[in-house]
Chain A
Amino acid sequence: MWSVFFRVICVLIVGDVTTLILYKVLLASGILILSLVVAMYSTLMERKMAAFFQDRLGPNRAGPWGILQPLADGIKLFFKEEFMPNTADKFLYILGPALTMFIALLTSAVIPWGPALVVNGTEYPLQIADVNIGILYIFAILSIGVYGIMIGGWASNNKYALLGAIRASSQMISYELGMGLSIVAVVMMTGSLSLGEIVDQQAGFNWNIWYQPLGFLIFLICAFAETNRAPFDLPECETELVGGYHTEYSSMKLGFYLFAEYINMFISGAVLATLYLGGYHFPFEDRLGLSVNGHAIIGFLVFFLKITFFGFLFIWVRWTLPRFRYDQLMKLGWKTLIPLAIFNVMITGLVILLRG
């Protein structure tokens, strides 16, 4: 602890490279807090939106417009009895939700949240790590995501939870393929795996969605499936599997699962916006005569607006459509989305070839 503190002091005094490290630590914690707060308030948004679609009022008791409801929910979850089935595998039972939460929070590391800020001539990029394989990183993290649910569902030693876990794993593995193939087309087009570069190529209104409408659609559908949201919420559909993979969970362990879903929703929106809707770019940004930092801040807000749009879309769909059946879901993934994604890749390749 003290050594870390000492080092931080050194960093502040000594210089540049180390300032960068400190800055990154600050940025990382900032984004962590942002993800958590956004996830918290997505629950409120979800409930308010659901109420709006259903001619109800929604939560309005805790604070004005129910603004404290997520806090109240959180406190309630913390004080609930921590129940663990006797027959559960103790270690895995705890590992499940922890892993889910941990992985949900990891993805945000490579997402460019805005153009770089410039203070005293030093650039401060609003991206934790501009790794040159950003897309692969996201993909890798998403693939691990299924383990949290699988482990949790299996460790509960409950048939409903097991069924939910089986559904979740097969669903997520199948839809990763379609998702990956639709990204391949983007990568072919942009020629880069770095998210920062992909965003910069979409400056202004030159968004990828205009070139990749089919790919966008496939990615969007797969994002629904990856986040286990309706109409793909089979792993936790309460009318069939009671609670799905989290049937046996209570207290904050359950909270972690529910929370991770909203974080995933947020991150999916961010990835979608980054890959297809130009990230933090917005039309006519170069003609507004903004200062560098002003541009960064407005860019960040625009990016956030795009994420919110996707959040709204997720919620809208959930409260409108019925859900698929297990076999229909598999059929859609394997027989429709993957062929379409391959077709999309081929068309993209053809166009690139013809244009030289």
Chain B
Amino acid sequence: MTAFLEDNHYTTLNLGPTHPATHGIFQNVLTMDGEEIIAAEQTIGYIHRAFEKIAEHRPYYQITPLTDRLNYCSAPINNLGYHMAVEKLIGIRSNKRVDYMRIILMELARITDHLICNSVIGVDSGALTGFVYVFQERERVYEIYEEVSGARLTTNMGRIGGFERDFSPSAIRKIREFLDHLPKVLKEFEKLLMRNRIFMDRTIGVGGISAERALNYGFTGPNLRAAGVDYDVRVMNPYSSYDDFDFQIPVGTQGDTYDRFCVRQEEVWQSLKLIRNALDNLPEGDYHMEVPEFYLPPKEEVYDKMEALIWHFKIVMGEVNVPVGEIYHSVEAGNGELGFYLVSDGARAPYRLHFRRPCFVYYQAFPEMIKGGVLSDAILTMSSMNVIAGELDA
């Protein structure tokens, strides 16, 4: 803040809260010397909805819809990640079919997240058309979500202990269609931007961060990998049977906007491979685990059998016995390591639920990353870090 007060010949520019490039709502106060950024100060909290506090008053199964609204570009990862965290607390071991179904959905979500982020880099650099191409593909993924969960954006997917229903034949057909169709569009999109001279000039060496600084800040996900650190939760701390699969973790070298773009792009290809593998090897079995205390019984049984009716009533009212404990579970979300720190004192609601939100970490480094650059660089850096306001503010 001091720079603003001392040097009166600098301009102060309010980038946000409502600015076309701040996708979501957050403010940057830039001190500018002409077009050059001398200092930056960021403000967060414009869409803070106190999810962590709300979660302390809700039964476990009612917290899933809150996680939808963290990173709304890849809601299923948040949903399923939260379910896995609760299952870890309760001590349920998931079966393979549920694991593989989760992998398919989480990788689909990762693809949509990366597609949006990369195409928005295009939009912010002035190339609108690629955005529209990949948005059609996102639409296909949303149709798959619709088949699986009934919703599109805020999916509220799955239940604690599995899925509410199995993949329908049409869901599997849609996934296969998507797998066949996306590579063509993705190649076209890459042709538009990846080797485009203007785009490369705009992004190479822009908004870079060294691996050391990134680690100091606590970067994870594509932004850290772009800086050259091969940290991926899926490999380092495998969950949901990710260790059954063979896939590569792309790593960048410079940590700049172009590397972030390329890392995300390569991750989409890897995700496609993962989905194909998981779908081909989808094991037979039940689409949920045998946990009557947490997983709602089928409706027919609720009407006929007393036990099922009792469980149904208890689960819906949130009167289930959750063991006392404290766990941390993290998943590789679209943006990086999404962690759930869950403390239970045995009551119907968590004693404390903290979301470790990767965007929150990235945004702290934003002023450092844009300092010395020009205004256009700041915009591209922001969109390439994929700071999602919902996740930033929670």
Contacts and interface: CB of A to CB of B under 8 A. Distances in A.
Contacts of B21: 239-240
Contacts of A65: none
Nearest to A233: B126
A240 to B, nearest CB: 5
B129 A54 contact: yes
Interface in A217-276: 230-231, 233, 237-242
A81 to B, nearest CB: 19
A322 interface: yes
10 contacts: A54-B132, A55-B132, A159-B11, A231-B198, A239-B20, A239-B124, A324-B201, A325-B374, A325-B377, A328-B201
Given A163-B375, A326-B35, A328-B201, A239 B11 contact: no
B127 A240 contact: no
Contacts of B124: 239-240
A239 B123 contact: yes
A320 interface: yes
Contacts of B239: none
Contacts of A327: 374
A231 B128 CA distance: 12
B196 interface: yes
A323 interface: yes
B125 interface: yes
Nearest to B383: A239
Contacts of A238: 20
A13 interface: no
A242 B199 CA distance: 21
B11 A320 contact: no
A56 B132 contact: yes
B376 A325 contact: yes
A319 interface: yes
Nearest to B199: A322
B132 A240 contact: no
A211 interface: no
Contacts of B34: 166
Contacts of A322: 122, 125-127, 193, 196, 198-199, 202
Contacts of B199: 322
Contacts of B127: 320-322
Given A320-B192, A326-B376, 6 more contacts: A159-B11, A160-B13, A166-B34, A240-B375, A319-B129, A326-B35
B31 to A, nearest CB: 12
Contact of B202 (A54, A55, A160, A325): A325
A102 interface: no
A53 interface: yes
Interface in B1-51: 11, 13, 19-21, 34-35
Which of B11, B132, B201, B376 is most buried by chain A, counting CB atoms within 10 A of its CB?
A: B376
A159 B198 CA distance: 27
Contacts of B136: 55
Contacts of A320: 127, 129, 192
B126 A323 contact: yes
Contact of B133 (A54, A163, A326): A54
Which of A50, A238, A321, A327 is most buried by chain B, counting CB atoms within 10 A of its CB?
A: A321
